[in-house]
Homo-oligomer: A and B are copies of this chain.
Amino acid sequence: MTIPFTNIVKELPASTPFVGPETIEREREQIFQARIGANESAFGISPAALSAMADSLSRSCWYADPENYELRAALADRHNVDMDEIVVDAGIDSLLGLTVRMLLNPGSVAVTSRGAYPTFNYHVAGFGAGLETVPYKGFHEDPQALIDATNQYKAPLVYFANPDNPMGTWHNSSTVSQLIDSVPDNTILALDEAYIEFAETDIAPPVDPSNPNVIRYRTFSKAYGMAGQRIAYAIAHRDIISGFNKIRNHFGINRVAQIGALASLQDETFIPKVKTQVAAARQRVMDFAATRGLYAEPSYTNFVAVDLKSKERAVAMIQHLADNAIFMRMPGADPLNRCIRVGLGSQEEFDLFVKAFDTGFSSL
């Protein structure tokens, strides 16, 4: 028998957006002592959220409210939008999948930057669409190049992250506003703001869901420290949100995550505290690089790209770090892949990293 896969799935290669640290641990038969490669937070969860989640565990027998009503109400209040302009889903990864499914017919084309978030690309391929990429300009995404390619390929969807992953770089609010304004009619800009809470200046243009050209993605995975809980949201024009609601997995949210996200959002003291800790940890990495005569790219995220000046050296360092029980990743595409992406861990993780780095750096 031939398994009756769709034409799209039949032609898909086996692929996965990222190899998880656990896979590497199993291969190496060694547990990582510092897990600073997946942009996970080292600065905890809101104590209020943790307590609410602990209290809710025994009610895990109940499905979550499929409307995510209370959470959407709180988010609507926070962003000064209507509830109908928000959709909650199990992480930005899942939201990007729905976005692609909603906007890309098989054979149509999406645009992104070469080396940007691989999971977007995974979904584009997974729904049988094509992908056109434009190069970064140095270590920054290039808004003009994205718009030019979007026009050239008549792409219904263009992806842009601010701040950027994997580089940590950002564009200021006026540049992003201009990008939004330049998006062609009948094109949607997927504006991934997963790391926006870490930004040191106001780089997010006002949220305006009356504009049907942009979807804003926010998450509880990064600053809120809840990556393992899988909960995020998008803000967009109500017609776009209706589109999400036509296809999303309505009972897909974990009930504990839903409760935790709401409590976390309501804990006004938490994010400022995390932001301060992240800023300090970031400075630690900047200083570390400077001391070694290396360029570290200023970052508005919870990681810092440190330039090792060639892909070969970066690959060798990631390998060396793994040999020393440190999990780190590096960007996947030229010219970003001369860097390693140093995640902001605890002081202990940082110390382990520095120690391992220094033993390997001399022999690169």
Asked if A9 is at the interface (CB within 8 A of a chain B CB), the reply is yes
Contact status B16-A245, CB under 8 Å: yes
Contact status B22-A246, CB under 8 Å: no
A57-B50, A250-B16, A254-B257 given; A187·B67 CB < 8 A? no
Asked if A169 is at the interface (CB within 8 A of a chain B CB), the reply is no
Contact with B along A297-334 (1 / 0, CB 8 A): 00000000000000000000000000000000000000
Which residues from B are CB-within-8-Å of A38? Answer: 62-63
Determine chain A's interface SS by DSSP, over half rule: loop
Contact status B22-A65, CB under 8 Å: yes
Interface stretch, picked from A87-95, A137-145, A197-205, is A87-95
User: Which of A50, A57, A66, A94 gathers the greatest number of chain B CB atoms within 10 Å?
Assistant: A57
Which of B1, B35, B228 is in CB contact (< 8 Å) with A60? B228
Complex copy number for this chain: 2
Which of B5, B16, B61, B228 is in CB contact (< 8 Å) with A61? B228
Contact with B along A98-140 (1 / 0, CB 8 A): 0001111100000000000001000000100000000000000
Report A270 CB to chain B, min CB distance, Å.
13
Contact status A15-B63, CB under 8 Å: no
Asked if A256 is at the interface (CB within 8 A of a chain B CB), the reply is yes
Report the Cα distance A14→B247, complex, angstroms: 9
Asked if A188 is at the interface (CB within 8 A of a chain B CB), the reply is yes
14 further contact pairs, Cβ within 8 A, besides A1-B212, A229-B255: A4-B156, A9-B247, A17-B251, A23-B67, A23-B69, A26-B69, A40-B63, A59-B228, A61-B226, A91-B251, A97-B249, A228-B254, A230-B254, A254-B256
